[in-house]
């Protein structure tokens, strides 16, 4: 996600890859009237989970830079202030057939971060879901695939 407290506008993105790291689909969305970072993270999670269900994804490994939220889901005692968000996300996760959470550093999800950034910085406010990847990120996808192969 890419968020600015000042304008209350946020961009978010997700990418679905196959087991070989090839991009199958991607999506982006703008959110407005964002009040807090926790609300922002919850809205992104719920949107992504809804998209995975609507795309009928069965086995999903979620990579997230939201380490605190992932820990709140996996170890609720560590993040009592995020229990509302964790409960809502868990409820949606359990409606998927198979899932796994992993925390990744920002570098591992750079392409999704750039897509989210494009919402606010380039004014790409129209939501979209598309097959494949964005051509303007070809070099980044190639670098990510190369790094994951080693």
Place of tokens 């959110």: 31
Q: Which residues of 66-102 are buried (b: 16+ CB within 10 A; e: fewer)?
A: bebbbbbbeeeeebeebeebbeebeebbeeeeebebe
Q: How confident is residue 150, by pLDDT bands cut at 50, 70 and 90?
A: very low
* Domain ranges for the chain: 2-149
Helices H, strands E: what count in the chain? 5, 6
Query: 73 near 89, Cβ under 8 Å?
Result: yes
Q: Strands of 2-4's sheet, edge to edge?
A: 2-4, 9-17, 23-31, 128-131
Dihedral (C-alpha) 109, 110, 113, 114: value to the nearest 10 degrees? Answer: -150
Per the listing, tokens 């570098």 go with 107
Q: Per mean pLDDT, which range of 4-8, 34-38, 57-61, 145-149 is the poorest? A: 145-149
Class of domain 2-149 as given by CATH: alpha beta
Q: Is the pLDDT of residue 141 over 70?
A: no
Q: Extract the tokens encoding 87.
A: 């409960």
**pTM for this predicted structure:** 0.77
Residue 30 and residue 23: Cα distance in Å, rounded?
A: 21
Q: State pLDDT tens for residues 103-126.
A: 665 445 777 776 787 777 777 777
Q: Dump pLDDT digits (tens) for 54-81.
A: 998 888 888 888 888 889 988 889 999 9
Neighbours of 117 (CB within 10 A): 16
């Amino acid at each position: 996600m890419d968020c600015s407290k000042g304008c209350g506008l946020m961009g978010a993105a997700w990418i679905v890859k196959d087991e070989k790291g090839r991009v199958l689909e991607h999506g982006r969305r703008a959110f407005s009237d964002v009040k807090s970072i926790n609300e922002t993270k919850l809205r992104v999670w719920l949107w992504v989970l809804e998209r995975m269900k609507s795309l009928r994804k069965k086995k999903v490994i979620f990579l997230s830079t939201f380490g605190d939220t992932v820990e709140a889901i996996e170890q609720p005692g560590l993040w009592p202030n995020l229990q509302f968000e964790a409960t809502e996300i868990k409820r949606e996760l359990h409606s998927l057939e198979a899932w796994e959470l992993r925390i990744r550093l920002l570098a591992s999800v750079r392409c999704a971060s750039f897509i989210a950034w494009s919402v606010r910085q380039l004014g790409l406010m129209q939501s979209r879901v598309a097959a494949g990847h964005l051509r303007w990120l070809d070099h980044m996808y190639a670098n990510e695939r190369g790094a994951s192969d080693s």
